[in-house]
């Protein structure tokens, strides 16, 4: 199972934005769809711990909104150094 961190998600978003802006890629995938395809099993497990009504961002057309919604699925991560 491929795991995803908030940092990796952000890096994927930056790469996506630099290549495709807020829209779809050359395969007509939205950012949220692409993330779901590559990290399906991990995200399914993460999503199962969320309330049903919580928006997950996988179907939104806007890549930034998808990033914001998907990143909110992660538990709080301390950045203490």
For residue range 24-67, list pLDDT tens digits in order. 999 999 999 999 999 988 887 877 766 666 566 788 899 999 99
Say if 11 falls within a structural domain.
yes
Say if 1 falls within a structural domain.
no
Confidence (pLDDT) at 78: 46
> Would you say 65 and 52 are in contact if contact means Cβ atoms under 8 Å apart?
no
The count of domains in the chain is: 1
Tokens of 46: 């993460």
**Distance (Å, whole) CA 16 – CA 38:** 14
Say if 24 falls within a structural domain.
yes
Say if 10 falls within a structural domain.
yes
Say if 78 falls within a structural domain.
no
Its pTM stands at 0.79
Q: Is the pLDDT of residue 22 over 90?
A: yes
> Would you say 43 and 35 are in contact if contact means Cβ atoms under 8 Å apart?
yes
Residue ranges making up the domain that contains 56:
6-71
Tokens of 52: 């049903």
């Amino acid at each position: 199972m491929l795991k995803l961190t908030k940092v990796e998600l952000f890096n994927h978003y930056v790469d996506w934005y630099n290549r495709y802006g807020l829209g779809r890629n050359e395969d007509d995938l939205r950012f949220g769809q692409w993330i779901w395809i590559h990290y399906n099993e991990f995200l399914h497990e993460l999503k199962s711990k969320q309330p049903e009504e919580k928006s997950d961002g996988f179907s939104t057309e806007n890549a930034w909104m998808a990033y914001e919604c998907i990143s909110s699925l992660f538990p709080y991560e301390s950045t203490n150094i």
